[in-house]
Amino acid sequence: MAEQFLPGAPRPGRPPRPRVRKVAQHDLRDARARLRGTIYEDVTPDVRPREQYSPVQIVDFCLDLAEVMLASGADTRSVETAVVAVSTKWNLAPLDLDLTGSSVTIQYAPADGPALVKFRTVTIDGSDLGRLAWANQIVDDLVHGSRDMTSAVSALVAVLRMPPRWPNWLADVGLAVLGTSIAMQAGGGWRAGLGAFVLMMGIIVSGRWLTGRGFPQFFVSGAQGAVASALGTLAIAAGILGPAGAATMVAALVVLLLPHVSLVTWAQDAISGFRAMAVARAFSILLVIAAIVVGVPAGIALTHWLRIEVDPSGIVLDPLPLWASLSLTVVSAAANCFVQQASARVIPVAVVFSVAAGASLWAMRHLGLPLLGATFLASVLLGVLATIAAARMRTAVGAIAVPAFCGALLPGVAVSNALLNVMSGSSTSALDFVSAVTVALAIGAGLVLGGLFATPGARRALRRARKVVVHSVHSDTTALRVIRDSGYDPGDGSRPRW
């Protein structure tokens, strides 16, 4: 009598057929709604009959990806887009993503099984545009089928172990050069520019020393603002600089002390509807601004015995001619690429776009538009250009946009005027400073709107660029630990490809 087998039970000697996880139509509609308006709007689940990755693997990878992107300076909308696109491609829906301050929570709640919830604490400590670009390329490879799980994990580990793109001394010099350029663009002249370079180098060294000894950023920023304003007052008393030159020199430091990248990212999060992240970013930003607002007058008060009287009504900060302003814009954008650890191939693109944004800002200001409106429109143009170029170059939009707006759109003149009012003891000086800071918010709003305008063209450019698909030779889908360093050093060509 032939041996009987239960229906659906695997026969001896025959490997079980891999199950293909299905995505319900309502879950797929929800994922597409969250991707609407992004370059991954058309992503579809991969239903090829192959070994499926487990939900734990996918959720772990998505947590790792979110941590890398947030720590590298990405806005929340970009992080959500990357996570939802990857999870949709790997047939994992519904997936709930919650980003609140310094934590990321992902929940996978299938209809036919228990819910899976995982949590990760994220330390947001600045920006690394090179690492952000590499993470963006990993996502692009996954969405378009050029990587499997094993290859993607190896590439992400390689990104985490990657040393800084540029050495610290070069980034420090770049920041000092950026301060020089801001002071001269504000009309301070070569003396103010030279003073800004020396002041910035001293502030960088002292700030690193204080931070290394455990002082919070609030006290470090306040002390730096106090020292800068005191030195500016002493320069006036010694006859080295006039009030306008001293104001532009100190303004360059204040502009760079402001967390301008975080300000722009905060505006992007608030406009895109990520209120929890916007509130968390706003709290840290307000602390830094408060430290500067307190520190600058404190430094001036320390030198009250000099009895220097400054009348800002008689001081005019003459704007530079267009050729000089654009030349300094080139220097600023290139220097900021080294400061933000951008890749070498991004530098010429960021410089060209920075010149375009600076020229448009100059033209609109000469047409009579106020600074806030002109900065917003110039940022819209920059957002359009950066979004399309990022899709063609397969890099992150921020890797191009951040150096470009730092080179052309930072409010050096507005901050200089506010500092002149502080020196004269004007009662409206604090309001003038806050008004100058709002220019950074206009930059964030313009980049968001420009990105929305350019996304359809960026999707078409991305499809044209994906003509050759190379599938990974890896097929191992066993669970791998990603973020926590396991000692794995990939040497098999699995690093992200440019």
CA-CA distance, 90 to 54, in Å (whole number)? 10
Q: Return the structure tokens found at 6.
A: 């239960």
Specify the DSSP element, H or E, that contains 424. Answer: none
Specify the DSSP element, H or E, that contains 417. Answer: helix 412-423
115-130 per-position pLDDT tens digit: 888 888 877 666 788 8
Task: Answer yes or no: are the C-beta atoms of 444 and 267 closer than 8 Å.
Answer: yes
The yes-or-no verdict on residue 92 having pLDDT over 70 is yes
Mean of the pLDDT values across residues 45-71?
Answer: 79
Most confident of 6-15, 388-397, 486-495: 388-397
How far is CA 382 from its chain centroid?
Answer: 15
- Cα dihedral sign for 239, 243, 245, 246? positive
The yes-or-no verdict on residue 360 having pLDDT over 90 is yes
Please give the single-letter amino acid code of residue 319: P
Mean of the pLDDT values across residues 376-382?
Answer: 93
Classify burial at 66, counting beta carbons within 10 Å of its beta carbon; exposed 0-12, middle 13-18, buried 19 or more: buried
Give the pLDDT confidence score for residue 429 in this predicted structure: 66
**Contacting residues for 142 by C-beta, under 8 A, at least 6 apart:** 85, 86, 89, 152
Task: Give the residue among 336, 319, 320, 323 at the shortest CA–CA distance from 406.
Answer: 336
Residue 479 pLDDT grade (very low, low, confident, very high; cuts 50, 70, 90)? very low
Report which DSSP code applies to 106.
E
Lowest mean pLDDT among 3-17, 48-62, 267-281, 360-374: 3-17
Question: Nearest 10 degrees: CA dihedral of 394, 399, 401, 404?
Answer: -120
Residue 487 pLDDT grade (very low, low, confident, very high; cuts 50, 70, 90)? very low
SS3 sequence, 23-92?
A: CCHHHHHHHHHHHCCCCCCCCCCCCCCCCCCCHHHHHHHHHHHHHHHHHCCCCHHHHHHHHHHHHHHCCC
The yes-or-no verdict on residue 319 having pLDDT over 90 is no
How far is CA 463 from its chain centroid?
Answer: 25
Give the pLDDT confidence score for residue 466 in this predicted structure: 55
226-263 per-position pLDDT tens digit: 888 888 888 887 788 887 788 788 888 887 887 777 87
- Cα dihedral sign for 144, 147, 152, 154? negative
Q: Return the structure tokens found at 289.
A: 């601004």
- Cα dihedral sign for 55, 60, 65, 70? positive
The yes-or-no verdict on residue 102 having pLDDT over 90 is no
Give the pLDDT confidence score for residue 48 in this predicted structure: 61
Integer CA distances (angstroms), 434 to 74, 437, 441, in order: 25, 5, 11
Whole-model pTM over 0.85? no
3-state secondary structure of 492: coil
Task: Answer yes or no: are the C-beta atoms of 365 and 371 closer than 8 Å.
Answer: yes
Residue 478 pLDDT grade (very low, low, confident, very high; cuts 50, 70, 90)? very low
Please give the single-letter amino acid code of residue 456: P
Number of H helices, E strands in the chain: 17, 3
The yes-or-no verdict on residue 460 having pLDDT over 70 is yes
CA-CA distance, 387 to 439, in Å (whole number)? 21
Task: Give the residue among 223, 249, 255 at the shortest CA–CA distance from 236.
Answer: 249
- Rounded to 10 deg, the angle between the 322-339 and 168-185 helix axes is 160
Most confident of 174-183, 222-231, 373-382: 373-382
Residue 19 pLDDT grade (very low, low, confident, very high; cuts 50, 70, 90)? low
Mean pLDDT, the chain, rounded, equals 78
Residue 188 pLDDT grade (very low, low, confident, very high; cuts 50, 70, 90)? confident
CA-CA distance, 71 to 127, in Å (whole number)? 7
- Rounded to 10 deg, the angle between the 412-423 and 275-302 helix axes is 40
Task: Answer yes or no: are the C-beta atoms of 61 and 110 closer than 8 Å.
Answer: no
